[in-house]
Every structure is written in C-alpha cells, then in structure tokens.
Structure 1
Amino acid sequence: METYTSPTLSFGHRTPGSLPNAIHYAIGDCDLGAILVARSPQGICAIFLDDDAPRLRDQLAQAFPAAALEEAAQFLQADLEQIIRLIHQQPVDASITLDVGGTAFQRQVWTALCDIPAGQTRTYTQLAESIGAPKAVRAVAGACAANMLAMLIPCHRIVRSDGSLSGYRWGVQRKRAQLLRERGCVRPHKRWPCPA
C-alpha cells in the first residue's frame, strides 16, 4: 500500500491585481466531481471543482477575465493526474509550483493553511491566531473564500469554533467527503456525495 505524503508547494506570488495573460487548462473527473486544473507560465493558478464540467470553464473565465484561455488536456495531463492523486490521498510528486495572487494577508493565510496536516482541522480563530492576527477572524474567513486552489491550499480543513462544517466554495458535501477521506474514513475512489 502506498503511503500518502503531502506535496511541497512552491509559491510564486503575483502582485495584487495582476493576472496572467495566458492560461492553459484541462478538465477531468475525480471522486469529488468534475475538476479543472489551470496553469499560467508561472505555475498552477486555479483548481476548481463542480458537478458540471462545462461550468468550470465559465468559472475560470470569471476568475481571469483578461486571460486568453486555452484547453490543453495533453499538455496538462500530468498536472491533472497529480491533483487527482492528491485528492484521492495517493502519493504525488514532491513539489508543485503555484502561481498565486491575492494580498499579502491572504497569502499569509494560505501559507498557514498548508501547514495543517491532512486529517486534521483548525477553526477560523485558531488559524487567525497562528498568523499572529487573533482579531482578524473575518478577514481569515474571507481569505479562505478567495482561495482558487481547491485541495492544494486546504481551506477545507477549516471548521467553525464548534467543530461543525461551514461554507465551502466548492460545496460543504465535498468538504465533508475530503475530510473523511483524509481521516481514512472513506475508501479510495468512492464517488461523492458521501453520506452525512
């Protein structure tokens, strides 16, 4: 049995407001539904999940309105397979390069999210405290909501102070399913939606 190890993420930071001019993307299928992986020349810039594959391209166009979008399934096949392996808790390559926008505060939150081990959760308050901003709980929640890299920047590991699941950009059912998978409660390749 292969052992899951989290990848090492290399963050390439764009200046706030700057967007890539050209983005290649591929759409596939994973246990959580349809998945889109997009790459700029600097690295992976978006990972979206949805029930409807055609909607994924529309979401990418909304996120990067000035970019020339080009479907490149063959070019991105390795990236797509690697992200799907990550979702399925299978070994992945040691390093993944990201092209991340956002403010300095958002990037600080996203970096802290990556420090949360698979199978564990933190509250918004704990995350705010971990970055030295204990009063910025709402801003931390906003940074989680602005994350465009599903699963790689694991905002699904953030829960309410009472431990319950809160909103998730890609659906609370997906959040629940991935947390169960990370805790070893869901066998690999079990198609979502999982029972509550």
Structure 2
Amino acid sequence: MWTVIESPVGDLRLVVHEGALTAIEFAPFAERHVLGERDDTHPLLVETARQLAAYFDRDLKEFELPLAPVGSDFQQRVWAELGRIGYGETASYGQVATRLGMTAAASRAVGLANGRNPIPIVVPCHRVIGANGTLTGYAGGLPRKQLLLELESDALF
C-alpha cells in the first residue's frame, strides 16, 4: 500500500508492507515494479502522514512507527545507529563508524549505507554531515538536507 503527501520538502510517497513502513520516497518518484495499491485511508499511512506533519510543524521530535527497511545486515546496523542521533544533533560519517565499533576509515561504507536508507526523515540520515561540519551528499538532494537540518536546529549552513 502507498500514498502521496505534500510536505515542505516536496511530495513524499509513503509505502507500507505487512504492517510496517518500508519506504519514504522523494519526488520525482522512481517507477517500481511492485508498489501495491494506492490507499489514502490505510491506518499506518494515515498515522505516518500525521507524524510527518507534526514533525514539519516542530511538534514531534521522535517518530513512533513500525519500520521494516530492506537492506543488508551492515545497512541495518548503520540505519539503527542513525536513529540514535537526536533531533537537532548531527554526527559525522566517521563518528557513526566509530559508534559501530569500526575505525573512522569506514566512513565511506557508512556513507554508502546512509545513502541507501529507504526511510529518510524517520530514519534521520539527514543528520549525518562531513567531518568538517559541511553538508555532504543526500539522496534527496542537499537543499532538502539543509531544510531538514534547519527545521530541527535553525542552523544555517
């Protein structure tokens, strides 16, 4: 099941499967072989849309949704660690690698996993920045990353 909602970062396609959120996609949407039916009234899609709206209104800092991102064991570990970066906080790719018990040299691997995060915003990959504090790659584009970080911290990059 899926739906599309409007947001300050453009239209978002929300995808659920077997009772869990599996994807949030930025427009323009990639064509997928199997998406299932559009259902704007599915309870989990409605709740996801509600929580995202509250987040964008700065009324929600932590999402409470069942998540089922699809990825390798390493990607799953990285995405779980991203969830530990608090609202309004940032971490470098090297810091995330260190928190996972690796050296900072593994920051590239962390960056690749970060870029494949299928549930952006809820799994806050936008909170990962370069070692020197600069904004670096974001699957949704750097303007979206900057907007999300400014929304959370009012920081100007």
TM-score (norm 2): 0.89
Which of the numbers 88, 105, 114 marks the counterpart of 1:144?
114
2:51 is the alignment partner of 1:74: no
**Which residue identity is paired with 2:137?**
G
Give the structure with the larger helix fraction: 2
Number of residue pairs matched by the alignment: 154
Deviations along 1:147-191, one digit per CA (max 9) or x if unpaired, are 0101011110011111110110001011001101101x28xxxxx
**Partner residue in 2 for 1:41:** 18
Q: Name structure 1 gaps, 5 residues minimum.
A: 1-23, 187-194
CA RMSD of superposed structures (Å): 2.0
Instruction: Choose between structure 1 and 2 for higher RCO, CA contacts under 8 A separated by at least 6 residues.
Output: 1
TM-score (norm 1): 0.72
Computing the radius of gyration from Cα coordinates, the structure with the larger value is 1
Q: Name structure 2 gaps, 5 residues minimum.
A: none
Shift of 1:49: 1.9
2:104 is the alignment partner of 1:127: no
Shift of 1:42: 3.6
**Partner residue in 2 for 1:103:** 72
Shift of 1:129: 0.3
| Residues in 2 aligned to 1:164 and 1:87: alpha-carbon distance in whole angstroms | 23
**Which residue identity is paired with 1:133?**
M
Identity %: 25
Shift of 1:95: 2.6
